[in-house]
Amino acid sequence: MNDLWDSTAAAACTTTLDECVYGSRLLGSDPDLVLHGGGNTSVKAPWIDVTGRQIEALWVKGSGWDLATIETRGFTPLPLDRLLELARLDELSDPDMVAALAAAKLDPAAPQPSIETLLHARLPHRAVQHSHADAIISLTNLHDGEHRIRDLYGDRVIVVPYVMPGFDLARAVGGCWERQAQAATIGMVLLNHGLFTFGDTTQEAYQRHHQLIEMAEQILGSEPERSPHAPATAARPATDPIDIARIRRDISRHAGRPMIVRRDASDEVYQFVGRADLEAATQQGPLTPDHVIHTKPWPLTGRDVDDYAVRYGAYFEANRCRVDTDLRMLDPAPRVVLDTELGMLAAGIDVRRAGIVADIYRHSMRVISRAQDRFGGYVALPAGALFDVEYWDLEQAKLRRSGEPPEMTGRVALVTGAASGIGRGCASEFLRRGAAVVGLDLSVGVADGFDSDAWLGLEADVTDPAAVNRAISTAIDHFGGIDMLVLSAGVFGRSQPIAEIDPDEWSRVMTVNLDANAATMAAVHPYLTLAPDGGSVVVIASKNVPAPGPGAAAYSASKAALTQLARVAALEWASERIRVNCVHPDAVFDTGLWSHDVLSERAAHYGLTVDGYKRRNLLSVEITSATVGRLVAELCGETFRATTGAQIPVDGGNERVI
């Protein structure tokens, strides 16, 4: 752990709470200490109420806030006297504790306080910092972890056996403090949980955190580096992306919803999955019980998702008696897959949560490897302790409060021509509806098309089959599959009468608008067959199919042929649960083809204003890329689940089409 405390930056803090925010961000910015909402901090400081009365308060991290980005409004002020009164009770259920803490908030608008609030209140120090530091977990998750901690730190820390977070942990800490605390005590190690440090100021608590973790890191670095269990080099076997898509399909089936699956093929991962003791090392449990919410009790080693689901069901049945209330089993799908060929796959209901799973397990691999190779073996908590957290009523309530995610969460769309115009409009709408989106385009700007972890923009020429296949492989590594395909890439070509057609221009338009789309459909088809909710294809055709105009023979013919191709695909692919539909846009003027000057010229030709020209249709509405994007996304959604082979105009009403 690096000591990042900057006295100059800290001097800018005007209150003790400001300093707590600064120290919290330092703690949260180090992934070796805190991951994705973990850890918590507090400071005891006055609260001034509306009458001017001063109340001694505990300001504690609010639930849902991340330490790396927390602000002052992320801390909840509570009266310290009331917290100590609650902590002195003989018993208090966690739901009753949560209700009592909510009622005690001095600021009703503040977030729900941390589940470990009473623990913070009981510690007789003004500032407290808590992390799940890898270095500490590496020592506590050993068969002799408690002995090693006591031998390393002596009176500097008190040691608390594992107890679930909440009221019982606060009581356990109180008892251990009375028995173990000494004048030299600057921290507290919760076995299989993490590290607390404290002091008169946040700076003191933070620097004590650094001191204790540095001591642990020195011990961890002093042992031999290798073990016969670890492979000498990271093997890189050839992989087929379709294997990942099959695993995603199986995970999604057991999860009961489409899932995102992210692949990690780093050297570190291949070293880990190549371990001779992989099964024994990984099937005990996560580093801390908190991780079970994200990663499930253990990873799947290999590819048999069905067998994993059976094992998870047995785990549930063996432990359900630990809870008095009726329980409904959570989905039995694995969240981590370790495979000697594929590396590591991390699954989540969306890209963010799949990323959290991957981050957590990368840290888990390092701790497990270190324990196995240097300290005689990794030891996790028993299955019952994991079950208690996974089925904790507070966690279940949190899941219920989260509500339903956006409708396309977990699904993956591939959109060609996605850097601008209709393609971009489609990509934007899919993202808004919760999908992960892979955008292909010739433009280098496609990579930065959207500021979202659910966006993957790839520069690729759709007329180059090798480039398309590389893009598909990259897409599968990022998201696990392809459920929806939107063929938007196309060119209009030069306006020419048939008698003057340039064969090269004809060939160019046909290559882009027809041949490339046919090849892309064929390349994506195997993945669409594995789409958890069935595949969907939308072809961006044109008004020129039902109502062609003079001078656009190549464009009109190519779009007509593409429409016919889509009709054949609808016939051939229906038995594989793949729908194929076409949309026929017209007069979409917010694309690169239509500059202000061109629009002005065309409007003047018809004796119209630019706005009037844009609305030159029966409904007098403007057709935008976003208009088309909404229709395309809807075609891929539940509303059109029973529709295939359709051709839908999006033109505001055209007399020639009608």
Query: Looking at the structure, do residues 380 and 456 belong to the same domain, yes or no?
Result: no
Are 18 and 127 part of one and the same domain?
yes
Residue 614 lies in a domain: no
Residue 146 in contact with residue 140, Cβ under 8 Å? Answer: yes
Cα–Cα distances in Å, from 533 out to 253, 330, 546, 640? 9, 20, 32, 13
With respect to residue 658, please indicate whether it lies within any of the assigned structural domains. no
* pLDDT for residue 224: 46
555 assigned to active site: yes
Both 272 and 292 in one domain: the answer is yes
Q: Where are the alpha helices (DSSP H) in 296-392?
A: 305-319, 351-374, 383-390
Same domain, 496 and 645: yes
Largest CA distance in the chain: 99
Choosing from 312, 315, 555, 613, the catalytic residue is 555
Look at residue 401 in the predicted model and tell me its pLDDT.
66
CATH of residue 45:
3.40.225.10
Structure tokens at 491: 């060119």
Q: 428 with 346, same domain?
A: no
- Distant-in-sequence, close-in-space partners of 2: CB < 8 Å, separation ≥ 6: 30, 210
Same domain (yes/no): 37, 181: yes
Tens-digit pLDDT profile for residues 175-210 = 999 999 999 999 999 999 999 999 999 999 999 999
Residue 39 CB-half CA count within 13 A: 32
- Where is the domain boundary, 402, 430, 452? 402
Give the chain's domain count.
Answer: 3
358 and 421 together in one domain: no
Domain that holds residue 136: 7-220
**396 and 416, same domain (yes or no):** no
Q: What is the mean pLDDT of the chain?
A: 93
Same domain assignment for residues 262 and 188:
no
Paired residues of 127 in beta bridges: 43, 199
What the block records as the tokens of 10 is 């800290």
Q: Residue 354 falls within a domain, yes or no?
A: yes
Q: Are residues 76 and 169 in the same domain?
A: yes
> Sign of the C-alpha dihedral, residues 203, 201, 189, 280?
negative
Predicted pLDDT at 240: 94
The answer to whether position 634 is within a domain reads yes
216, 374 Cβ separation under 8 angstroms: no
Q: Quick one: pLDDT at residue 184? A: 95
The alpha carbons of the chain give a radius of gyration, in whole angstroms, of 30
* CATH at residue 577: 3.40.50.720
Is residue 234 within 8 Å of 340, Cβ to Cβ?
Answer: no
For position 236, what pLDDT does the model report?
72
In a domain, residue 607? The reply is no
Instruction: For residues 549 and 442, state if they share a domain.
Output: yes
Please check whether residue 655 lies inside any domain of the structure. no
SS3 334: coil
**How far apart, in whole angstroms, are the C-alpha atoms of residue 636 and residue 580?**
9
What local confidence, expressed as pLDDT, does residue 620 receive?
A: 93
How far is 110 from 100, CA to CA, in rounded Å?
Answer: 14
| Cβ atoms of residues 429 and 483 within 8 Å | no
φ and ψ of 193, to 5 deg: -140, -60
User: Which residues, other chains included, contact 399 with Cβ-Cβ below 8 Å and sequence gap of 6+?
Assistant: none
Residue 70 lies in a domain: yes
Query: pLDDT (tens digit, 9 = 90+) per residue, 644-657?
Result: 999 999 999 999 99
Counting as low any pLDDT under 70, the low residues of the chain are 222-235, 397-402, 592-593
230: in domain: no
363 & 463 share domain: no
Q: Model pTM greater than 0.85? A: yes
* Partners of 535 in the β-ladder: 578
Residue 508: per-residue pLDDT: 96
